[in-house]
Structure 1
Amino acid sequence: MPPTEYVLSEADRAVIHALQIAPRAGWSRLAPVLGSRPDTLAQRWARITAAGTGWCGTLGLHTGETPPCLAWIEVLCTGERSRVRSDLLTEDPHVLSVFEVTGDRAMLLFVAFPDLSMLDEHIATRLSRLPGVTGTRTHLVTAVHRSGPRWRLDRLTPTQTHQLIDLPGRPHEAGGTAVPSLRPEDRRLVLAMTADSRLSVAELARRQGRSESSTRRQLIRLESTGTIVHSCRPAPLHSGWPVSVVLWADSPAADVAAAPPIVHLRETVEFMSITGPHSLAIVLTLRSLEDLPACASTLVRRMPGLRIADSFVVLRCHKFAAQVLGPDGRRTRTVPPDIWTRPVPLPPRR
């Protein structure tokens, strides 16, 4: 079957769910849990990644004395769609996710920078100069209550999930503690793992020009402290949860402490506190658009005081967490998120 025709089966989704819990666990350890042979699982994963319907990746953005500057940016554009505009945004290493959305904003971006000054430089010298852009609205992230790597499929039994919890490669959960910074020498390893967090230690050592023993110690240090986060994602349109919706919401500051009922809702992919006219950004994934009213009602019921101020549906995802997606929603390639390089200015518009 040609890669472009390959779709996720139930067995594929079980493999992805297992890798969401333990992204770097070996096939020999996963095989007993999934009731399969290691070579069969390896072949299945090779087909999934070749088709672009699933992938494992790594992000690590914290350098220096302060956490990275994360932000949601609404990009206001003229009515027509521009392939040049979307291509420039997709290729930008500072722009982690690119969504075309409904409503009066044409595009919604999730971006990362080392500091506020570089974010300002990027808006002034790149975003404002894109074809058709008429304005931007920036919402800085002040706290991340739930992030994309925590989202899970629902294909494994509770017993299988429990068996995977203590396997090597399971994502570290910092539990609100401070995350140590990446060292400059760690960046090459992190960028190498953006496209494939399952690369062997030997291959990572080769790409860095370091020994396997030092690379293994480096990887253990970064994983154990939560400095880097591995994740496994199915292509959204092929996951069984194809609809993405972003909500702007408001809640009294004291109520955010009561967020766990929302954080643990299956439909919640991301939940963040933000600056601006609204205090919260909530990203949902749904089985169908018809599920949105019921999901919104559940959010309000679980978090008294929550007010949903605006919602917009993702019409197309060009890029998600540094992974470039084609028109059919499959991953085509990766743009390493080298957020530490200065933005490359675009020519001023005539």
Structure 2
Amino acid sequence: MHGTAARPPAGRVSTTAATAAATTLDELDLALVNALQLAPRAPWSQLAGPLGVDAATLSRRWSRLRDSGAAWVTCYSAAGQVVFGSLAFVEVTCAPQAREPLAARLAAQPHAVSVELVAGSCDLLLTVAAASTRMMSDFVLSLARYPEITGTRTHLVQRLHQEGSQWRLDALSREQQRDLEPDVSGSADRILNADERALMLLLAEDGRRPVAALAARLGRPESTVRRLLAGVLGGGKATLRCEAAHLHAGWRSTATLWMAAPPTELDAAAEELTLLRDTRLSASVASEANLAAVVWMHGMDDLSRYEARVGAKFPALRVLNRAVTLRWVKRMGRLLDEEGRSVECVPMDVWRPVPTP
């Protein structure tokens, strides 16, 4: 899959081993990723001023980061498109020798948008998205057909308080960030139609793909594609997200916490979590736990400090379980190598019927 002579399957993009050099991201790399977190499709000329670097240099930097899998821009349905029952975290237990091959099989499915090998009460943790509650049910029930799986536990998301596209590296100063603040006036008042879904799946492969290239892939005039882009992105129906290989960006550990908060304090606790620097995701869930947080840390010692800060603010909140990530196999549609670099894209086509394993 990674050789220079190999071609990725249709609908997927991949990097090559020759370009996947392991290197820590430098200050300009981190600043560029931070800028693209704020303005993922901004032209290089717009980013040149805030970053203090000419447009040609930024273009070359991004090409290197993208081609090596060290950073990428993807696209998926916005939180406003998510209804209760169409997003879930699924804990999976399996035979020890089956963990990695099973993770690879599940990661090939578009509905399993993220797959992690974890330490804790389960072996794998899946983030599952579907176009409807019926399709979510189909996916969860399909897991029973995998002979390697010995058990599952599903946590349906009731409300997303924060998700990964809202998290920032903070490599830029406040002044630089203000220059790139996005327009958040749009709202997702309609569901994505078929044309918009097709566009979104192309942006999932490369969120910075030029309009001309999008038009060629879709077989539509550029003027039509510009209108679709305005409706999908400006209308708040899809989210662009710039990611970086977390290990090379200084985030050495990640974990998911399952917590129980008194119902009267649930929303306040969930919103408070969004204010903590290490919180990547905060969600109310329907299970024994009613609150989940995905936490990114510079080291494992940070996890106890994170829990202490949360406990000091909400003494009645209890941590019920922890899933510490051993390795990310897939994150939001991107297959990752052991260094966290993107090696292949499986577009998050959550409208596709759930396959039978």
How far 1:32 moved relative to its partner? 0.8
Query: In structure 1, how many angstroms separate the alpha carbons of the residues matched to 2:287 and 2:82?
Result: 25
Match of 1:114 in 2: 131
CA contact (8 A) 2:84 2:156 kept: no
How far 1:130 moved relative to its partner? 2.5
Query: In structure 2, how many angstroms separate the alpha carbons of the residues matched to 1:94 and 1:109?
Result: 10
Q: Where does 1:1-350 land on structure 2 (aligned, <5 Å)?
A: 3-60=20-77, 69-125=86-142, 127-165=143-181, 170=182, 172=184, 179-258=189-268, 259-346=270-357
Query: In structure 2, how many angstroms separate the alpha carbons of the residues matched to 1:326 and 1:198?
Result: 22
Match of 2:7 in 1: none
CA contact (8 A) 2:79 2:160 kept: no
How far 1:171 moved relative to its partner? 6.8
Query: In structure 2, how many angstroms separate the alpha carbons of the residues matched to 1:121 and 1:303?
Result: 37
Tell me how many residue pairs correspond in the alignment. Answer: 339
How far 1:281 moved relative to its partner? 0.9
Change (3 A) 1:334 1:105: same
Amino acid of the structure 2 residue aligned with 1:128: A
Which secondary structure does the structure 2 equivalent of 1:189 belong to?
Answer: helix
CA contact (8 A) 2:245 2:339 kept: no
Which secondary structure does the structure 2 equivalent of 1:317 belong to?
Answer: strand
More displaced 10-residue stretch of structure 1: 54-63 or 140-149: 54-63
Amino acid of the structure 2 residue aligned with 1:203: A
How far 1:150 moved relative to its partner? 0.5
CA contact (8 A) 1:262 1:303 kept: no
Amino acid of the structure 1 residue aligned with 2:287: G
How far 1:50 moved relative to its partner? 1.2
Give ranges in structure 1 of 5+ residues lacking alignment. none
1:200-233 deviations in Å (ceiling 9; x for gaps): 1111111111111111111111112210000111
Query: In structure 2, how many angstroms separate the alpha carbons of the residues matched to 1:67 and 1:137?
Result: 17
Change (3 A) 1:128 1:183: same
Which secondary structure does the structure 1 equivalent of 2:120 belong to?
Answer: coil
CA contact (8 A) 2:88 2:128 kept: yes
How far 1:242 moved relative to its partner? 2.1
Query: In structure 1, how many angstroms separate the alpha carbons of the residues matched to 2:85 and 2:216?
Result: 28
More displaced 10-residue stretch of structure 1: 320-329 or 296-305: 296-305
Query: In structure 2, how many angstroms separate the alpha carbons of the residues matched to 1:124 and 1:301?
Result: 39
Amino acid of the structure 2 residue aligned with 1:140: L
1:293-336 deviations in Å (ceiling 9; x for gaps): 11111122234532211112100100001111012211101001
CA contact (8 A) 1:139 1:276 kept: yes
Which secondary structure does the structure 2 equivalent of 1:188 belong to?
Answer: helix
Deviation above 4 Å: which 4+ runs of structure 1?
61-68
Amino acid of the structure 1 residue aligned with 2:340: G
Amino acid of the structure 1 residue aligned with 2:156: L
CA contact (8 A) 1:235 1:329 kept: yes
Change (3 A) 1:76 1:164: same
Change (3 A) 1:95 1:48: same
CA contact (8 A) 2:99 2:124 kept: no
Query: In structure 1, how many angstroms separate the alpha carbons of the residues matched to 2:260 and 2:326?
Result: 24
Query: TM-score when scaled to structure 2?
Result: 0.90
Give ranges in structure 2 of 5+ residues lacking alignment. 1-17
